[in-house]
Amino acid sequence: MHDPTSSSSLFNWRKGHAYFRKCPVVYRQVPLDGFSIRLACLSDASQLLDEPDFAAKFINEDRAPYGVELWPASMILAQEILSGDLGQAGEALEIGCGLGLIALAATKAGWEVTATDCDELALDFLQYNAGLNEISLHRCSVLDWHHPPRDKQYRHIWAADVLYQLVDQEPLLQCLQVLLEPGGVALIADPHRSVADHFPDRARAHGFQVNTTRHTIRDDSDHDRSGRIFRLSIAPTTT
C-alpha cells in the first residue's frame, strides 16, 4: 500500500495526523461502482483564509480555496461516468477537478483524462491523491476559464460543482464553446443549487442543446446525495 507519510511534502505530520499548514487533513473513502477512491481533503478550506500570507492570492483574485474540499456533485458525476452510458472510454477533459475524484475514478475505468483547475493548490492535492490510490494520471494542468487554450478540442468534457457563483457561468459557457468538439458532450453536475436553475437557458442562448437528468447516490457517510447533471452538446457541423 502507498504510505502517504513517506512520499509527499505537501502535508506536515504531527503525532500521526496530517495538516496542511494549520488545517487538519481528513481522509475520505468514497464508494463507487465496484471500487472506492481514497481522498485527502480539508474539512473546512476557509480556514486557509485566516493565514494572511497564504490568503493574499485568493483575496486578490476574489475567490476562495474551494478546490481542496470534497463537493457533493463530484460523487454524482463520477458515478455517472462509471455507469458506462458514455460509451467506450476515451479521452476527456475535466474542468475544476479539485481533489481529483472524477479524474481518478475515470482513469481507473480506462479513460485518458486531462484534469484541470484554476487553483494550483487543488492540483497539488490531486497529484497527492493519485499517489494515494496508486493511479497514474494522464495529464493535469492549470486552466483559466477566461483564457482557454485553443489548440485542442475534446469530445467529452466534465465539471462538477462549478455553478455556485452566477458570475462564473458565462465564462464557463464561453470556455466550453472553445473546448467542446462539435458533436461532443459536456456533463456539468450540480447539487440542485438555485443559482444554477437558469443555467440551461443560458447554455441554450450560447447555442448548446441541453438535457437535464436527476440522480441520487449514497455517499461515504451513508447519506443520500441528490443532484442533477446538465448534458450540453453542440450539433456536429455538416458539409
* Boundaries of every domain in the chain: 71-233
Helices (H), the chain: 4-7, 52-60, 72-82, 101-108, 120-132, 166-179, 199-205
Each residue's pLDDT tens digit, 35-80? 999 999 988 877 777 777 766 666 666 566 778 889 889 999 999 9
Average pLDDT, stretch 208-233? 90
Query: What is the predicted pLDDT for the residue at 204?
Result: 97
* Backbone angles phi and psi of 113, in degrees to 5: -105, 130
Q: Which residue has the higher pLDDT, 34 or 172?
A: 172
E strand or H helix that includes residue 48: none
Instruction: Give Cα separations from 193 to 1, 33, 167, 178 (angstroms).
Output: 38, 25, 14, 26
The answer to whether 69 and 100 are in contact (CB under 8 A) is: no
What CATH architecture is 71-233?
3-Layer(aba) Sandwich (3.40)
pTM for the full predicted model = 0.89
Among the listed ranges 76-80, 89-93, 118-122, 159-163, which one has the minimum average pLDDT value? Answer: 118-122
Q: Are 219 and 32 in contact (CB under 8 A)?
A: no
